[in-house]
């Protein structure tokens, strides 16, 4: 999988977008800018994103309204959203952010290391999910196309076993990162992915 994960940066202020790009520059991601909620929704029509960093205070369509549109779309409803806003925002902003479907909520000025760490783990989860989907598709294809035709069952199963094990090994590494962060949303996402990997392993073990 050669494609680098994309992160959507949504903020109406140029200096904030520049700062976010600088924070993420050490990560292997492609930052995509949007200067408004409308621009963000347009970008989401044709591009897959690992994560959205969404400013709350924007003219016109604000962050909450933008998030509501994102969560209503089948294509984008599962993309994690981290809300960003200034520290003097209304006291109910955090509650509204989580109610709108955000996985996290950070106030400016935020610690660049904290944001970078959160983005890194969500990108890892996104990459893991994509790899898991690819392995599951490969498993179905190989089982349906090769095994019934009298192919080399042992070699096919050995190859698939190696692929499943590789996914499990990478999942353990991501789980360790999430546990160290003690971040509830991250650990919840890892737990959900762990269930998917466990189902894949159970299905594979049933073959043998």
pLDDT tens sequence across 152-184: 556 666 666 666 676 667 667 676 666 655 566
Query: What residues form DSSP beta bridges with 8?
Result: 32, 52
139 pLDDT higher than 50 = yes
128-133, long-range: CB < 8 A, 24+ apart: 128/167, 128/170, 128/171, 128/174, 128/193, 129/193, 129/196, 130/1, 131/1, 131/167, 131/170, 132/167, 132/193, 132/196, 132/197, 132/200
Tokens 């360790």 belong to: 176
Check: CB of residue 45 under 8 Å from CB of residue 34: no
Distant-in-sequence, close-in-space partners of 25: CB < 8 Å, separation ≥ 6? none
**Residue-level pLDDT at 108:** 79
Of 183, 30, 191, whose CA–CA distance to 125 is shortest? Answer: 191
The strand pair at 29-34 and 5-10 is best described as: parallel
pLDDT tens, 57-87?
Answer: 899 899 989 999 999 998 898 899 998 887 5
Report which of residues 151 and 183 the model is more confident about. Answer: 183
**Token pair for residue 139?**
């498993």
Mean pLDDT of 134-145: 67
Query: Please, which pLDDT band fits residue 1 given cuts at 50, 70 and 90?
Result: very low
**Token pair for residue 109?**
């000025």
> pTM to 2 decimals?
0.70
38 pLDDT higher than 90 = yes
**Token pair for residue 38?**
């409308």
Of 130, 114, 97, whose CA–CA distance to 24 is shortest? Answer: 114
**Residue-level pLDDT at 82:** 92
pLDDT tens, 94-132?
Answer: 667 667 777 788 887 888 998 998 899 889 888 887 877
Q: How far apart are CA 184 and CA 61, in angstroms?
A: 29
The secondary structure of residue 149, as a DSSP letter, is G
Distant-in-sequence, close-in-space partners of 193: CB < 8 Å, separation ≥ 6? 125, 128, 129, 132, 171, 174
């Amino acid at each position: 999988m050669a494609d680098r994960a994309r992160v959507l940066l949504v903020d109406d202020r140029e200096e904030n977008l520049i700062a976010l790009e600088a924070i993420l520059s050490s990560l292997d991601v492609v930052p995509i800018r949007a200067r408004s909620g409308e621009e963000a929704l347009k970008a989401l029509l044709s591009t897959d994103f690992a994560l959205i960093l969404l400013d709350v205070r924007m003219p016109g369509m604000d962050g909450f309204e933008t998030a509501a549109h994102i969560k209503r779309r089948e294509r984008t409803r599962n993309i994690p959203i981290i809300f960003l806003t200034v520290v003097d925002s209304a006291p109910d902003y955090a509650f509204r952010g989580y109610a709108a479907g955000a996985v996290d909520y950070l106030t400016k000025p935020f610690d660049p290391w904290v944001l970078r760490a959160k983005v890194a783990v969500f990108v890892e989860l996104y990459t893991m999910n994509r790899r898991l989907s690819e392995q599951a598709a490969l498993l179905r294809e190989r089982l349906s196309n090769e095994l019934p035709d009298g192919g080399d069952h042992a070699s096919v199963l050995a190859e698939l076993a190696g692929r499943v094990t590789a996914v499990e090994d990478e999942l353990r590494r991501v789980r360790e990162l999430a546990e160290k962060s003690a971040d509830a949303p991250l650990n919840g996402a890892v737990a959900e992915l762990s269930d998917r990997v466990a189902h894949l392993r159970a299905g594979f073990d049933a073959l043998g």
